[in-house]
Amino acid sequence: MNSLCRNISLTRSLHTGRVLLKETPRNLKGKKHSSQLWLERQLRDPYVEKAKQEKYRCRSAFKLLEINERFKILNPGLTVVDCGAAPGSWTQVATNLTNANGKKEGPVGRVYAVDKLPFYPVEGATVLGNMDFTNIKTQETLNKLLQGDKVDVVLSDMAPNASGIREIDHDNIMLLAYAALRFALQISKAQSTFVVKIWDGGKMQQFEQNLLKFYSSVRAIRPDATRNESTETFLLARRFKGLKTS
């Protein structure tokens, strides 16, 4: 997942409810121009403040929340695996919506968060930090935790470090998307759901066609929380057909 989001204090306008920047960011001397632009963008971004208020680790939480609001993919009692989960905002959303944290009455779900990076625990989730989901040992560990059960939802908000060269960045994120898909096919139960982030590019259409080989429907989604300048799209694949066994 994207690198850790930083909490930045904002000034809010009480009569409009909109986030306003009332002064120029301070202490920018010596910072690169790109860093200055990043900071100014963060200060003007309402989702950064909203994430802070609602105690999400990153603004990306609102992308998954919107996807779920529209398509109801996360429900109490479901088992979810979050690939490339750090810093954990999608894991937070998943634990709340599946009731993996047991804070509501009714079915209690299970959420497993896997990332190469270490990250802080999320209440209600099993965090597998410093672990690569493509590694056999990681998959063996996860299978033991699942105790033979299959998964209802696989999530992937992973993205590589951007080089700034669109074609290269697209190729790199497609490699991650295919890795997540192969993983999902191994651990998912029939009729399950797969959500994966990609960046627009020439290989997107072929990837959608490949998804349709294994899932009954595929939909491209661009949540409102996606920044205007971003090329990201989320593909929602539903109703896994299962793998044929010889």
The residues assigned a catalytic role are 197
CB 102 within 8 A of CB 68: no
Question: Distance (Å, rounded) from C-alpha 81 to C-alpha 96?
Answer: 14
> What SS3 state is found at 238?
strand
Question: Distance (Å, rounded) from C-alpha 122 to C-alpha 147?
Answer: 21
* 177: amino acid identity, one letter: A
Minimal CA–CA distance to 237: which of 215, 220, 204? 215
Preceding amide of 46 cis, omega within 30: no
